[in-house]
Amino acid sequence: MSTSYEWPIAIRCVDLARPLDPLTDLARYSRVRVFVSRDDSLVGSVDIWNRGAGTISVGRLRDAIAARLAPEIIEHEHRSRLVAASTSSPAAPCMVSIIVPTCDRAEALRRCLRSLLAQRTRHQLEIIVVDNRPAIGTAAHIAREFPSVRLVREKRPGLSYARNAGIARASGSVIVATDDDVVAPDGWIEKLIAPFARREVMAVTGHVLPLQLETEAQCRFEAYGGLGKGFARFEVDRQWFHAHRSAVPTWRIGATANAAFRASIFSDPQVGLLDEALGAGTPTGCSEDTYLFYRILATGGSIVYEPSAFVWHQHRTSMDALRRQIYAYSKGHVAYQLTTWLRDGDRRALVRLAWSLPKTYAERAWHRLRRWSDYPLSLLALELVGNITGPYALWRSRRRVRRLGTSTHRSPERTDAVSLEGQVT
C-alpha cells in the first residue's frame, strides 16, 4: 500500500503534563501532525487524519497518542525516573557562542534572533551573526535591531566559510551552530549543552522539526527524511566509527542546523575547522557537517544526539527550491564519501559508492514502482544525477578553495578559557 503525503499538514504540540484541549482550526488541512512532549521533553509524534474536519476532540487525540506512542511514553517515564535518581551533575555554567550564518533573509533572521534572545539558561550567551552577503547589507540592518548581537562579515560565499568566520571570533568554550531559518524554543540551549558535563563528549546534536508543512515541497522534504534524526536519544563514539564495514553513516547523527561543539576541537589539527570545499554555497552543496562529525569520531570523541534539544526549521516552500536542495544533497553525499577516501584513506567509502548507495536507490525505485511509496521518480532521478556529478563538484570546490583561500585554525589561546566544570585551565 502506498504511503500518502497529502498536504497541507497542520502542526500542533501537546504536553502530556498538562490537560489536553481539542485541536481546532483544521478545516483546510488533510491531517494534523501532533508533536507530543511531557514536561517539555519531546516524546514523539502522531499523524491524525481529519480530512477537512475543523476539530479533533480530546478523546480522539488521547486515543491516537496512546495507540501510537504508548511504548515511548512508558520509556520516557522510566528514563525520567533514572535521571532524577542519578547523582551526576549538569554542565556548569559557561560561555556559549551561537553562530548564525545568514545570506539576505531578513525576516527569517529576525525571527531566529528573537528566539535566541528569549532563551532561559544559566549559561552566558554570545550571539554572532555572520553575513555571507555583506554587500547587500540586509544582516547589518537587522543586527541594528539587536544591539547585543555581534555582526561578522565574510564575503567569501559558502556556509563553511561563514561558520568558520564566526568560530574564529567566538569566545565561548562551547560553540553552537544553527541557521537563520531556525526558531528555537526557550529551553533549547540548556538541553543542548547538558551532555557536555561528560568530558568525552565533543559534540551534541538535536532534533530538527518542521516549522510548517503548508506546501507540497515542505511535505515532500519531510517524506524525504527532513533534517531530524528521530525521537530516540543515542550516542556514537570511536567503537561505533570502526564497527561499520561500509562508510561511516555520520549523516544519521544530525546537522549543523542544531549542533554544539567543544570549542577546543577547532584548534585541534586532527579535527580543525569545517572543510570549506563542502557545504551549501559551494559546488558540492552540503556535507560539511557530516565530515566534521567524521573527524571528531576518528580522533576518539563522542557525539550525543539529544532529541529533546529540538528546534523548528522553515523548510523551502517551492518545488524548484526543493529540487535544488535534493540535488545539492546528492552531490554533497558523494563528495563526502570521496573526501573520506582521498583525505583520510578510508576505503569503506568505496563500498558505499559502489554497492550500498546503488542498492538503496534500486530498492527505492522498486518500492515506487510497486506503489509502496509515492516518492516521485523525478526526484529519485535527480538524486542519481547529483550522485554522478558529485566527483566533478568536489574537484570544482577544491579549485575554488585554492583560489579563495582557506580559513586559519581557531587560536588555541582563545579556546576553553573556562572548562565546563568551571575550573580555570
What's the pLDDT tens digit per position in 324-336? 999 999 999 999 9
> 409: pLDDT confidence band, cut at 50, 70 and 90?
low
Write down the pLDDT at residue 160: 98
Confidence of residue 266 (pLDDT cuts 50, 70, 90): very high
Contacts of residue 359, Cβ cutoff 8 Å, sequence gap at least 6 = none
374 pLDDT exceeds 90?
no
- Sequence-distant contacts of 68-73: CB under 8 A, at least 24 apart: 68/44, 69/36, 69/43, 69/44, 72/43, 72/44, 72/231, 73/16, 73/36, 73/38, 73/43
pLDDT at 3: 47
- pLDDT tens for each residue of 208-263: 999 999 999 999 999 899 999 999 999 999 999 999 999 999 999 999 999 999 99
The predicted model gives 6-14 an average pLDDT of 94
pLDDT of residue 417: 34
Q: How far is CA 190 from the centre of its chain?
A: 17
pLDDT tier at 423 (50, 70, 90 boundaries)?
A: very low
Query: Residue 327 and residue 357: Cα distance in Å, rounded?
Result: 15
64-77 average pLDDT score:
92
- pLDDT band at 84; cut points 50, 70, 90: low
Residue 80 in this model has a pLDDT that exceeds 80: no
Position 418 scores a pLDDT of 32
Grid cell for residue 242: 570502526
Q: What is the pLDDT of residue 89?
A: 65
How far is residue 218's CA from residue 215's CA, in Å, rounded to a whole number? 5
Give the C-alpha separation, 164 to 289, whole Å.
12
How many residues can be counted in the chain? Answer: 425
Q: Which residues contact 203 (CB under 8 A, 6 or more apart)?
A: 259, 260, 261, 262, 265, 293, 296, 301, 303, 304
Average model confidence (pLDDT) across the chain: 92
Backbone dihedral angles phi then psi of residue 202, each to the nearest 5 degrees: -105, -20
> What is the pLDDT, as a whole number, of residue 40?
82
Angle 181-252-170 from CA coordinates, rounded to 5°: 50
Comparing C-alpha atoms, which of 400, 333, 403, 319 is closest to residue 361? 333
Q: How many CB atoms lie within 10 A of CB 86?
A: 8
265 φ/ψ angles, rounded to the nearest 5 degrees = -65, -30
Other beta carbons within 10 angstroms of residue 397's beta carbon come to: 25
Stated pTM of the model: 0.93
According to the model, what pLDDT value does residue 412 have? Answer: 43
Q: Which of 45-54, 307-316, 328-337 has the lowest mean pLDDT?
A: 45-54
Q: What pLDDT score does 420 carry?
A: 37
pLDDT band at 424 (very low <50, low <70, confident <90, very high): very low
41 membership: H or E segment, kind and range:
strand 41-49
CA distance 370 to 359: 16
Q: 3-state class of 300 per DSSP?
A: coil
**If pLDDT is split at 50, 70 and 90, which confidence band does 340 have?**
very high
CATH of 90-425, one of 3.30.479.10, 3.40.640.10, 3.40.50.150, 3.90.550.10: 3.90.550.10
pLDDT single digits (tens) 146-177: 999 999 999 999 999 999 999 999 999 999 99
Q: Report phi then psi at 14, rounded to 5.
A: -135, 150
Separation of alpha carbons 225 and 6, rounded Å: 16
Burial bucket for residue 1 (CB in 10 Å: 0-12, 13-18, 19+): exposed
pLDDT score for 2: 39
pLDDT value of position 87 = 47
- Listed by start position, the domains of the chain span 9-85, 90-425
pLDDT of residue 82: 67
